[in-house]
């Protein structure tokens, strides 16, 4: 590789980690190079710096474009395509999560829904459906949370992520509020919201 030692170490690491995440090692290294580069690069420059063939670089760039992780740029007076990554790391993270959801989570949800709609033909299938139902509810819950969080501004998202264990304190405070006079609470048996006044009337 025709790279400074620090950049080369990072590029090699991203290639190794990419292979563990199910991404081609070459693709991981190309992306790391583009992310660390101070300027957009064309395919020939990428191939020269990484020691890859032009065809491997072209295939890697196409895959990165399919993931919406690189941006195409043009330089005045130069007919070659230049590539770069978004400047904001949070934009990269949001894109990566969204693309992985479409490729991995959404197909699993489709399979689960189809399996739960089928009539079980044996005790084994009935048991399997019960387990799949649990998985479906969990993934739906996570997807609902993701849908809410996805629309947050980056500033708010950072605040949420830095709360950590403090979220427990917020929930405990919320629970205490529901016990105050005049606050709605959930009836233990029916789940219907009632107030202390309504409970007294019923008594």
Contacts of 11 (CB under 8 A, 6+ apart): 1, 3, 29, 32, 33, 36, 50
Provide the token pair at 134: 């649990």
pTM given for the model: 0.72
pLDDT tens digits for range 98-150: 999 999 999 999 999 999 999 999 999 999 999 999 999 999 999 999 998 88
Residues pairing with 71 in the sheet: 84
Residues 67 and 99: beta-carbon distance below 8 Å: yes
pLDDT value of position 183:
56
3-state secondary structure of 47: helix
Instruction: Round the CA-based radius of gyration of the chain to a whole number and report it.
Output: 26
Q: Which listed CATH number (1.10.10.10, 3.30.360.10, 2.40.50.250, 2.40.30.20) goes with 5-84?
A: 1.10.10.10
Q: Residue 178 and residue 186: Cα distance in Å, rounded?
A: 9
The DSSP bridge partners found for residue 74 are 81
Q: Tokens standing for 55?
A: 């065809």
3-state secondary structure of 189: coil
3-state secondary structure of 86: coil
At 149-178, the pLDDT tens digits run: 888 898 888 888 887 777 777 767 677 777
């Amino acid at each position: 590789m025709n790279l400074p030692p620090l950049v080369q170490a990072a590029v090699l690491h991203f290639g190794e980690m990419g292979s563990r995440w199910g991404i081609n090692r070459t693709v991981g290294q190309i992306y790391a190079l583009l992310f660390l580069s101070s300027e957009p690069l064309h395919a020939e420059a990428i191939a020269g710096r990484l020691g890859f063939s032009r065809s491997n670089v072209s295939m890697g760039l196409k895959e990165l474009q399919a993931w919406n992780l690189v941006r195409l740029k043009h330089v005045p007076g130069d007919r070659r395509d230049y590539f770069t990554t978004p400047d904001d790391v949070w934009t990269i993270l949001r894109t990566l999560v969204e693309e992985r959801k479409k490729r991995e989570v959404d197909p699993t949800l489709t399979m689960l829904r189809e399996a739960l709609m089928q009539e079980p033909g044996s005790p084994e299938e009935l048991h399997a459906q019960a387990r799949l139902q649990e998985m479906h509810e969990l993934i739906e819950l996570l997807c609902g949370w993701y849908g809410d969080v996805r629309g947050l501004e980056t500033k708010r998202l950072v605040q949420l992520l830095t709360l950590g264990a403090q979220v427990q304190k917020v929930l405990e405070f919320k629970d205490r509020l529901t016990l105050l006079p005049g606050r709605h609470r959930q009836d233990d048996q029916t789940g219907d919201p009632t107030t202390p006044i309504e409970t007294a009337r019923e008594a």
